Amino acid sequence: MKDQTRAPLLEALERMRHDRLVPFDVPGHKHGKGNPELTAFLGEQCLSVDVNSMKPLDNLCHPVSAIKDAEELAAEAFGAAHAFFMVGGTTSAVQAMILASVKSGEEIILPRNVHQSVINALVLCGAVPVYINPQTDKKLGISLGMSVADVQRTIAAHPAAKAILINNPTYYGICSDLATITTIAHQNGLRVLADEAHGTHFYFGKGMPISAMAAGADLAAVSMHKSGGSLTQSSLLLCGPQVNADYVRKIINLTQTTSGSYLLLSSLDISRRNLALRGEEIFEKVKNFAEYARAEINDIGDYYAYSKELVNGDSVYDFDTTKLSVNTLPLGLAGIEVYDLLRDEYGIQIEFGDLGNILAYISVGDKNKNIERLISALAEIRRIYKKNNKDMLESEYISPVVVMSPQTAFYAEKRSLPLNECAGEVCTEFVMCYPPGIPILAPGERITPEVIAYIRYAKEKGCVITGPESMDVSRLNVLKGE
């Protein structure tokens, strides 16, 4: 057992600072002295450790000392064989685990409600997606997890597939039967990848859904900066015992910066120590906050803050009760409309709003008074803004019509068409509401009248739509000659 009270990177940075080194290296601000405005804004202590790789601080691309020690502590804390510190967000971790698992032309099985980073990775490596369309909850308008039976059918129909990717959990807190799916995949020779962008707390909280490493997955991308408390853009890539970690590092080094931020790296080290020592207590508090808020919000009426009652043993195998996911459709308001009201009228910034739901992200940094403020604001929004819901769109998920691989479509000859002329064409770019960043359209998919209607409705409700070259999404790039 390693000493989880240690923080090797923090210790190395403190030693460096006390050594009073004279910097003749980058960054050019030289411990903040060259940029007084930035130093005044961020603080001298912050700028003094915004430094470059050097012998006492190790090197992220080839760690042999402080970073290596910190990664080994993280691996033990998360129950992994190896852990990589990532400074390009969980996007870089997701892409690295896919690039390390499938090559051009090889098949990877995944749910269609994946984050854009997954399909971006397929654009980069040329692997071919085999989508499992998730079941949906018509009342809530959300995608659920992957059914075990659907996974079995898909693996049987695609015996050459090399890997399967699973969301653990989804943005809304829905968990698939990860352990069973992992067993089935391994029996058929598939590598199991888990997108755990929203599941850091599964490794430390009591009574949480199973984590990817505990379920036997091969690789997992974990957003420490979300529920783990580290700085934005810092993340972990975890490896199981059957994975060649040295090869994974080579893949990571293809795209990750050679100038890793020691602010991000040290935040991973410090946050790992905090979770290893106090994680169970921290996430029990978070869970209690969420349970209280859920009960109070459901008492308001016309909101539905959902939880474990959704569990059906399959497509909703478990539910993350730290997630405060709230359906707003009975109110006659889209989730994005409630999101905007909370921010603009009540000074409350929640995580996201889509066409039927909002997500308020609760963490150990929250206080009782903030939870009460959110509850009160939602009650007032109901009283003031409630309207008839007869014209509300029922579901956020549209089954895709896949024509070709994302890489083939993305790099193909293309032409730009007005949105209202795109029906029947093959899209060559992404279209998504962000957050949550799940594509409405991905390269290689047929543009249907249903998709066009969805985009128009999302724009009308105020969703931020990203991806296309046309910033106002008035046009789309489509396959030339289609």
H or E element that contains 254: helix 245-255
Q: Are 247 and 256 in contact (CB under 8 A)?
A: no
Architecture in CATH of 280-385: Alpha-Beta Complex (3.90)
Task: Name the fold adopted by 8-276.
Answer: Aspartate Aminotransferase; domain 2 (3.40.640)
Strand pairing of 323-327 and 357-361? antiparallel
Give which of 393, 376, 384 is closest to 458, Cα–Cα: 393
Model confidence at 394, pLDDT cuts 50, 70, 90, reads low
Domain assignments of the chain as residue spans, ordered by start? 8-276, 280-385, 406-479
Q: Are 222 and 236 in contact (CB under 8 A)?
A: yes
Superfamily of domain 406-479 in the CATH hierarchy: Molybdopterin biosynthesis moea protein, domain 2 (3.90.105.10)
Judge if 280-385 and 406-479 fold alike in CATH terms: no
Tokens at residue 279, please? 């994680």
% of the chain at pLDDT higher than 90: 88
DSSP output for 111-173: ESS--HHHHHHHHHH--EEEEEPPPEETTTTEE----HHHHHHHHHH-TT--EEEEESS-TTS
Residue 391 has pLDDT above 80, yes or no: no
Q: What is the pLDDT at residue 215?
A: 98
For the segment 22-50, what is each residue's pLDDT rounded down to a tens digit?
A: 889 999 999 999 999 999 999 999 999 99
For the segment 320-340, what is each residue's pLDDT rounded down to a tens digit?
A: 999 999 999 999 999 999 999
**Residue 268, strand partner residues:** none
